[in-house]
A and B are shown apart, each in its own frame.
Chain A
Amino acid sequence: MVREAYHKALKELQDDVLEMGKLVSQAIQSSIEALKTRDIETSKEIIKKDQEINRMRFDIEEKCIVLIATQQPLAVDLRTLTAILSIITDLERMGDHAEGNAKINIMIGEEPLIKPLVDIPRMGEIGIAMLEKSLKAFIERDVEAARRVCNEDDKVDALHDQIYHELLLLMMNNPKIIHLATYLTWVSHNLERIADRVTNIAERTVYMVTGEMEELNVSKY
């Protein structure tokens, strides 16, 4: 194979994306766990660690720019690089959503949760699983797996609906908890947005492999 160093650099970039995805996945997981267990210290840690995710996004972006400028990638290589540029933007925003959840936990502070968290962790679990599957599909260039991931967004949307209505009812019954209930709707919204962004990753994988830009699952929100 010719241009070995170039292909090696392309492969390393994909590994970097995977690494960044792991950090984001951990941030989402920890943000929900911290909310559940009312762990303010972990939330502070998540906020701090988001800078690492942001830094990583810039590093990967710079590497992509250097490869485009110096190696003149074409066809699937060019699509891979543009896919990476898009995916890291989505990953960085997902990291921000996890950071947002951590900030909400800090805002709730000493106050108790208005209800035990059941559906929010469920949303998180589905979102994280979707993220991991989407990155696997990206690395393995598996279009069918990418398409399947997008279908799961409906489950997250449904849970978001359910949580929103449940919290609305709680607020109507007890206006004193409106602020706390609103915080939880924000968490739910953040998780809903994370799942939407996962579908973007899947769309970029399809584009990378087929060259076709398709919207795979239009979110309700």
Chain B
Amino acid sequence: MRCAISSSKLKKKSNPAVNVIDLKFYYGDNLALNGITLDISEKMITAFIGPSGCGKSTLIRCLNRMNDLIEGVRIEGCIKIAGKDIYDPAINVTELRKRVGMVFQKPNPFPKTIYENVVYGPRVLGVKKKSILDDICEKALTRAALWSEVKDRLHFSALELSGGQQQRVCIARAIAMEPEIVLLDEPCSALDPIATAKIEDMLVELKKDYTVVIVTHNMQQAARVSDYTGFFMMGELVEYDETTELFTKPKKQRTEDYITGRFG
């Protein structure tokens, strides 16, 4: 298992799953991201950290065009996934969001059974056969490290689960769509340390099959789980490096000041 702790240096960077090129993002006249350029490695965990308002959530939301839903936003530059510009007018956004799944800060299961939550996407896409849906449900819950805890109560309401379990249902729901990339926007900020540890273990397992991008306020979480970390400040990418390097030998003074608590 490769994770931030099993080696101090990544010998070889994997292929980029995402290329962000000179990305500028405006909320009206307000520049929220100022010329961001970075590659996100395939089947690795990449974390974005930084103080509130630094642009990390804005960036992750650009990756599956969630920001399109906000009025008055404008984007310049380019984001390529598998070599294709996702802001090309010819791109089907629904299709893009199938390939790039997202999990949010607060667990938001639908008021349905655990089973129906997980198979919701495939069902909407027209999968009807029960045996296929059963299979999708089991696989997704297994990958989300929840199967053994809920397999006997799949038809109970997802809302009866604990916060950590609900968040894993949401992760299973995203995975059930077989995305290439999973985006997580502060997925543990509403969870206790044990539930957080379970999610973190699961993320390390998930990256065997998926590219994972996580935004977190908790930089210790970024240190624990990610392979690469980007540190953002006031809309700029200050430093982007292997996590072990960034947390032990940051190259920029601003990064050093932030991670040692000397910022602000």
Contact = CB atoms under 8 A, between A and B. Distances in A.
Interface of A: 2-6, 8-9, 62-63, 65-67, 69-72
Contacts of B248: 65-66, 69
Interface string B175-218: 00000000000000000001001101100100000000000000
A166 B197 CA distance: 63
B224 A72 contact: yes
Nearest to B222: A70
Secondary structure dominating the interface of B: helix
A38 to B, nearest CB: 43
Nearest to A67: B5
22 contacts: A2-B194, A2-B198, A3-B201, A5-B6, A5-B204, A6-B5, A8-B1, A63-B8, A65-B248, A66-B8, A66-B244, A66-B248, A69-B247, A70-B5, A70-B223, A70-B224, A70-B243, A70-B244, A70-B247, A71-B223, A72-B223, A72-B224
Nearest to A70: B223
Secondary structure dominating the interface of A: helix
Given A69-B244, A69-B247, A69-B248, A5 B194 contact: no
A4 B4 CA distance: 13
A208 B247 CA distance: 25
Given A66-B248, A70-B224, A5 B243 contact: no
Contacts of A71: 5, 223-224
Contacts of B6: 5, 8-9
Contact of A2 (B8, B201, B247): B201
Contacts of A66: 4-5, 8, 244, 248
A9 B4 CA distance: 10
Contacts of B223: 69-72
A2 B4 CA distance: 16
A136 B5 CA distance: 25
B3 interface: yes
Nearest to B193: A2
